[in-house]
Amino acid sequence: MVKKKRPINLDLSTIHFPLTAIASILHRISGVIIFLSIGVILWLLDLSLSSPKGFLRASLMMDNFVFKFFMWGVLSTLSYHIVSGIRHMMMDFNLLGVTLQVGKFSAQISFFIAMVLSILSGVLIW
C-alpha cells in the first residue's frame, strides 16, 4: 500500500544553498576562470615583449574599456581565489575551528576582503 503522508517540498524558493557552499563552489569556478584567462594574459605579455611596436599595441589594448573590464574581472577573480584559498588552507591546518559557525563567519570575512581587493583592482586599472 502507498503511504499517504509522504513528505513533500515542492516550493523550491524555500531551498537555499548555505553561504559556505556558495563560497566553496565560487572557489572552484574562480580557479577555472583564472586557468582559462592565463592564455590571454600570456598572449598579451608575449605581444608586449615581441617588439616596440608590439608593446605599443599591447598598451593601446589596455586603453580599451572592454579589455580593462576583462582585466578587472581576472584580478577580482584571482583576489577571491587567493583569499578563499588562504581560508581553505587555514582550515586544513586547523588554524580556524571546523564548525559551521566559524565556516560561515570566515566565508563572510573572505567575501569582504575579496570585495575590497576587487575595488582596489578597479582603482589600479582605471
In the complex, the smallest distance separating the C-beta of residue 16 from ligand HEM, rounded to whole angstroms, is: 21
Interacting residues with ligand HEM between 15 and 74 (CB under 6 A): 27-28, 31-32, 34-35
DSSP string, 68-86: HHHHHHHHHHHHHHHHHHH
* Cβ 67 vs Cβ 50: under 8 Å: no
Contact status: 85 vs ligand HEM (CB under 6 A): yes
Contact status: 88 vs ligand HEM (CB under 6 A): yes
Contact status: 81 vs ligand HEM (CB under 6 A): yes
Residues that bind ligand HEM (CB under 6 A): 27-28, 31-32, 34-35, 81-82, 85-86, 88-89
